[in-house]
Structure formats: C-alpha cells, structure tokens
Chain A
Amino acid sequence: AQSVTQLGSHVSVSEGALVLLRCNYSSSVPPYLFWYVQYPNQGLQLLLKYTTGATLVKGINGFEAEFKKSETSFHLTKPSAHMSDAAEYFCAVSAWAGTALIFGKGTTLSVSS
C-alpha cells in the first residue's frame, strides 16, 4: 500500500526566506510523486511532478523538489518566499500516472512581511 506523510501541518516563513515543505512516501513500487497547491475556496493546482528521469524537478512559481529514493522523500523548496505563496500544499503519490492519487494531509504555508 502507498502512503504519504507530510511533516508539519503548518509552516511559517518571512517574505524572502527559504521555503521547505517536507514529504515522505511509502510505496512498494517505483512511485510517481506530485505536489499540488490549493488556494482558499479553490481546487488543486499542480506545482510539479516526478515520474522518471532527473530527480530534481522544477515546477511553476519557482518551486522545485528532489526525489530521494534512499530517504523516500520528495521535499518541496523555494529559495525566496512571496506573500502570494501562502496556501495549502499537498504531496501525493501514485503507483503509476494513470492511477488514483494518494494525498498527504497537507501543509499550510503562511508568509509574513
């Protein structure tokens, strides 16, 4: 069975500071990994995904994530936070791209000026 654990339900950073949102996964098969962002009263928007190939994945809005198989991790980072980054972030895993996504419980990112 697959599962996702997001460490820290709430992360607070100052504008301009590094953003680090942690995600660990469990999968018995090579995983496909995703980060989605959800703004208040909206659906989910894909930030980035890892399927195969390069383990450092770049996404939209300056975010990137690195797949580390040995650590079963897929942490999301952004060098410099903007106020507009404040939102709920979800890490998700699937056995392959065509199957259902298994989501973590989410991390709320707050950005202060």
Chain B
Amino acid sequence: DAGVTQSPTHLIKTRGQQVTLRCSPISGHKSVSWYQQVLGQGPQFIFQYYEKEERGRGNFPDRFSARQFPNYSSELNVNALLLGDSALYLCASRSAQGDPTDTQYFGPGTRLTVL
C-alpha cells in the first residue's frame, strides 16, 4: 500500500504570494494533520481534520487554512507569505481518532522556500 503522499516536493514563492500544499492519506485513513517544521526545530502542529471537519488548530495565524475532501485528501493554504513561512510542511494520517493503539504516519513533506 502507498504511504502518505504530498505534493509538490519543493516550492519556491515570493513574499505576499499564496500557496497550496496537497496531501493524500493512506488508503482507509480518515484523519489528516498538518505540521510545520522550521529548519533545526521539531514539527509544530497546525491543523487536524477528521471526517472532513476541523478537530484541532495550533497557534498559527489566520493566513493558514486547510480543508479535507470527501476522499479524505487535504489541502493546506497559506496566504500573504512571509519569509518566516519557509519550512518543511508535513502531513500525517491516521486511521481514526481516539484509538490508543493508533499511529500517525507522516509523508515526506513539502519544502517551501519564501524569497
């Protein structure tokens, strides 16, 4: 089975632009989460979606938004890009929510560079 896939792999934008990142979860997984990993730091939680509804939001500005589609894939949108938005954006999927035995599986990430 394919793992979590993300596109694009790399992206270069300029300040003020908007960007959309995409994620496809593992087949059968209904929950998707997004994380931002700035160079030299651990990932920081941005959003969690389960069954197409937002179930959690991290401490990120409103410039960040996301959605989940009926096929459980997800998009992360960032508006008015700042230099500080340069990071590796990771998507993670899990099969359900609230199952103690559940595991989050991470994709390879999208490397966003803002110039």
Contact = CB atoms under 8 A, between A and B. Distances in A.
Main secondary structure of the interface of B (DSSP, over half): loop
B107 A106 contact: no
A4 B103 CA distance: 19
Interface residues of B, number: 30
Contacts, number: 64
Given A99-B56, A100-B56, A43 B106 contact: yes
Interface stretch (A14-22, A67-75, A90-98): A90-98
B100 A46 contact: no
B44 A103 contact: yes
A45 B106 contact: yes
A42 B108 contact: yes
Contacts of A103: 42-44
A41 B88 CA distance: 9
Interface in A72-113: 90, 92, 96-106
Interface of A: 4, 32, 36, 41-46, 49, 51-52, 90, 92, 96-106
Given A43-B4, A106-B40, 19 more contacts: A43-B90, A43-B106, A43-B108, A43-B109, A44-B90, A45-B106, A49-B103, A52-B100, A96-B100, A97-B98, A97-B100, A97-B102, A98-B94, A99-B48, A101-B33, A101-B45, A104-B42, A105-B41, A105-B42
